[in-house]
Amino acid sequence: MKLYELAPTPSARRVSIFLAEKGIEVPRVHVDIRGGENLSPEFKAKSLNGRIPLLELDDGSYLCESVAICRYLEEIHPSETSLFGNSPLERAKVEMWQRIIELQGITAGFQAFRNLTGVYKDRETCVEAWGTESRKRVVEFLPTLENQLAQSPYVAGENFSIADISAFVFISFIKNLEIHTEGNLPHIHAWYQKIAQRPAVLSLTPKN
């Protein structure tokens, strides 16, 4: 098994933190995203979505999408507690928060960044007005997360889960949009500091 993910992207970082939390070692392969290596026919033949992270299995097949890779690694390396939740209701709440953070947070954040900076304008049409609107939606979404973290120690409730990893990478990423939590979003800020001090997170070089 090997993982194509050594690239400075938030999706790669989600998998890296997950692996570090679980203590799973998988050989890594570097992919030059900004240089367009993921756009090559060789890479596209492997990755259905043309993106990293991408997991190559021992039978030569491939799995893409960060959360699908994490779910697979969680299942083949079961431990006492799962980062996807430990009861039907807890698993549903993890899924709920994963989707809220992905669809209302990360997607808006990525669209804001890509449309405002034009970082990938060699390969996609950018619409600046949508970047502005997306950034506004990120700002409008944050009180939902703040409210949750005012009531719960972790994003999906009482236990640390993959939803915390997703939210941590999201809050880290939106610094690129000059959106900061210090001062105005105290519960997100305190939770962020707590996650940043976890040994698994400390063990990784910050990439964003």
The footprint of a second copy (CB under 8 A) covers 48-49, 57, 63-65, 67-69, 71-72, 75-76, 88-89, 91-93, 95-96, 99-100, 102-104, 107, 115, 125, 127, 129-130, 133, 136, 144, 148
Q: Which is nearer to a second copy, 7 or 69 (CB)?
A: 69
* Shortest Cβ 48–a second copy spacing (Å): 6
Residue 100 beta carbon to a second copy: minimum distance, rounded to whole angstroms: 5
In the complex, minimum distance from the CB of residue 87 to a second copy, in angstroms, rounded to a whole number: 9
CB of 11 to a second copy, least distance (A): 11
The least CB distance from residue 186 to a second copy, in Å, is 20
Half-sphere exposure of 51 (CA within 13 A, CB side): 11
* HSE of 200, CA atoms in CB hemisphere, 13 A: 19
Burial class (CB in 10 A: 0-12, 13-18, 19+), 42: exposed
Q: Enter the DSSP assignment of 176.
A: G
Residue 176 CA to residue 155 CA, distance in Å, equals 22
Cα 79-84-86 angle, rounded to 5 deg: 65
First to last CA, the chain: 26
